[in-house]
């Protein structure tokens, strides 16, 4: 009885933490202005949130076959999420998007003391 209660509490904490991380990722997607910052917020929090959710579900799994399926799902997502994020970032760079730079870097670039890639200091597409 006490072990079941402890598993339920630990599972609830992990599920709540996973849900919180995914909500934080969604807020980051809405709040950040740059494509690359949005990708970072989504990929990092989504992977962490997914791991917490799967760990919480593992504690509640009634049978070993369910646990194996959950572990396989987690492994699949851990492999595909970083790869897809990297592919999206590379495609954006290839299409001409540049990361937004900090004001200090922009000032250094405009005064000639620093370099800005392709002369772009915004998140908009580079002009050909």
50-97 residue pLDDT tens: 999 999 999 999 899 999 999 999 999 999 988 999 999 999 999 888
Kindly tell me if the per-residue pLDDT of 121 is higher than 60: no
CB of 28 closer than 8 Å to CB of 45: yes
Kindly tell me if the per-residue pLDDT of 48 is higher than 80: yes
Q: Which residue has the higher pLDDT, 29 or 9?
A: 9
The C-alpha atoms of residue 66 and residue 88 are separated, in whole angstroms, by 32
């Amino acid at each position: 009885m006490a072990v079941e209660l402890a598993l339920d509490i630990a599972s609830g904490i992990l599920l709540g933490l996973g849900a919180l991380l995914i909500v934080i990722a969604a807020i980051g997607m809405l709040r950040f202005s740059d494509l690359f910052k949005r990708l970072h917020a989504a990929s990092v929090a989504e992977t962490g949130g997914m791991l917490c959710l799967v760990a919480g579900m593992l504690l509640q799994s009634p049978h070993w076959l369910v646990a194996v399926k959950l572990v396989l799902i987690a492994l699949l997502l851990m492999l595909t999420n970083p790869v897809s994020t990297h592919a999206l970032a590379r495609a954006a760079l290839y299409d001409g998007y540049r990361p937004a730079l900090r004001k200090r870097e922009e000032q250094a670039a405009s005064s000639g003391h620093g370099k800005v890639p392709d002369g772009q200091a915004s998140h908009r597409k580079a002009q050909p």
